Amino acid sequence: MLNQIVLVGRLTRDIVVNKSDRGKVATLCLAVPRSFKNSEGVYDTDFIDCVLFDSVAVNTSEYCNKGDIVGMKGRIQSRSVEKDGKKESVMEIIAEKVTFLSSKKQEADE
């Protein structure tokens, strides 16, 4: 069996690292444009929730900001959460490796 995903997209917000009982953790949302146009001739974008742990979380928060392009390798995970008294299933990406591809600061300097 194989559970692996590779994404390239822009960070939708700055990353904040929090401490939990599992160590350091950060959540982010990655905006990933689709490779084809919809019926109106526009490229749709998917907004994908991702979770980063420990050194991956710390390094990404230190070097990346909202709008930066990153590549991410990880796995898909589902978990159950309780919301308004109902159990819901949440799908998220657990990042195992993040590659910093470009930043708005680099683009402004060029």
* Domain boundaries defined on the chain: 5-102
- SS (HEC) of the chain: CCCCEEEEEEECCCCCEEEECCEEEEEEEEEEEEEEECCCCCEEEEEEEEEEEHHHHHHHHHHCCCCCEEEEEEEEEEEEEEECCEEEEEEEEEEEEEEEEECHHHHHHC
The pLDDT of residue 20 is 87
* Contact status, residue 65 vs residue 103, Cβ threshold 8 Å: yes
Q: State the average pLDDT over residues 51-63.
A: 94
**The token pair that represents 12 in the structure block:** 């939708």
The pLDDT of residue 102 is 85
| pLDDT surpasses 60 at 28 | yes
Class for domain 5-102, per CATH? mainly beta
The pLDDT of residue 105 is 57
pLDDT one-digit tens code per residue, 62-99 = 999 999 999 999 999 999 988 889 999 999 999 999 99
Q: pTM for the full model?
A: 0.81
